[in-house]
Amino acid sequence: MRRHLLLTATSLTAAVLILSGCGDAGSSGTEAPAASASGAGCAPVAGDKLVVLDDDKKLQNTDNVLPAINAKSSSPELIAALDKVSAALDTPKLIELNKAVDVDRKSSKAAAQEFATANNVTAGITKGKGGALTVGSADFAENATLGELYAIAATAAGYTVKTQTIGNRELYEPALEKGDIDVVPEYAATLAGFLNGKVNGEKAADPSSPDLDKTVAALTELGQKSGLVFGKPSTAQDQNAFAVTQAFADKNGVKSLSDLAAKCSGSATVLGGPAECPQRPKCQAGLVSTYNFQAGKFTSLDAGGPLTKTGLKQGTVSVGLVFSSDAALAAG
């Protein structure tokens, strides 16, 4: 299971409904984009290396990794220690962390320890009063690895830490509010949408934004109503992204989604993604409305999974929906 909204649930109810079906929360959006694509387009190009196209017009929201903390468990020393993890993380490093677990088959604990050592995560951490602390995580590898990193930092701050893998957000977030767990690695925009549904109701407007400061401000306010506080967000993001092969990018001279729209809208271009992608405002519908990108064909595959990545590499789709921290995007 991955943590994603495929593409921004506006309510807790919507999130539960979608999670019960496939493990991912999804976004609202009911009408498919126009299918016309009058240009020649860009046919798929097979290749082993995948690259993410720059979302230069900020279609996606800011799903930056940050620590969510039970307010009663919080202390200045704990927050400062967790902020050391945020300061060390960026998206390329998160990709490499995921590669260490997903490809190199290291345990989350081993990968986290290697990262913490290489990036001096515990250097300068001040010990506080300490005590017992439980770091929870969702049940997918990236979140578990981030949880292990938080555990390392909290241990350096004087806490006696245990880690616990719990499940999806519908399970671990209430446990965090109650204090059954104390810290969880979270994703700013997704959590803001989730808490908003709980606090303000299923019809409340999505508070997340492509502007990180606005997302965090909204999240902080919602956290105050839920008994949660947050550390600083890292620059690392795990969110929806669109990838092509390096060979496709080189052949067609595309580095951004604006490039893709300008050079590759047309009949030969094949977009791959989950079945709901054409209707979703953070998938094909968003590519149309934000970039005026018109694919010649849509192929139903999966949400950033092996079908989409295989389709890209084998040259059956031109561009596909992936997750921005996927191990498949690792350099080399």
pLDDT at 297 over 50: yes
Mean pLDDT for 13-42 is 45
pLDDT at 19 over 90: no
Parallel, antiparallel or unpaired: strands 240-245 and 50-52: antiparallel
Q: Can you tell me the distance from the alpha carbon of 32 to that of 9, in angstroms, rounded to the nearest whole number?
A: 17
pLDDT number for residue 37 = 54
Residue range 143-166, pLDDT digits in tens: 999 999 999 999 999 999 999 999
Mean pLDDT for 170-183 is 97
Mean pLDDT for 272-278 is 96
pLDDT number for residue 71 = 98
pLDDT number for residue 307 = 97
Mean pLDDT for 70-94 is 98
Residue range 96-112, pLDDT digits in tens: 999 999 999 999 999 99
pLDDT number for residue 202 = 85
Mean pLDDT across the chain, nearest whole number?
A: 90
Yes or no: say if 36 and 199 are a contact pair by the CB < 8 Å rule: no
pLDDT number for residue 31 = 41
pLDDT number for residue 203 = 87
Yes or no: say if 3 and 15 are a contact pair by the CB < 8 Å rule: no
Secondary structure (DSSP) of 10-65: SSHHHHHHHHHHHS-B-----SPPP----SB-------S-EEEPB-TT--S---BE
Mean pLDDT for 127-135 is 95
Mean pLDDT for 64-86 is 98
pLDDT at 248 over 70: yes
pLDDT at 13 over 70: no
Residue type, 87: A
The secondary element (H helix, E strand) that includes residue 184 is: strand 183-187
pLDDT confidence bin for 331, thresholds 50/70/90: confident
pLDDT confidence bin for 22, thresholds 50/70/90: very low
pLDDT at 221 over 60: yes
Which pTM was predicted? 0.87
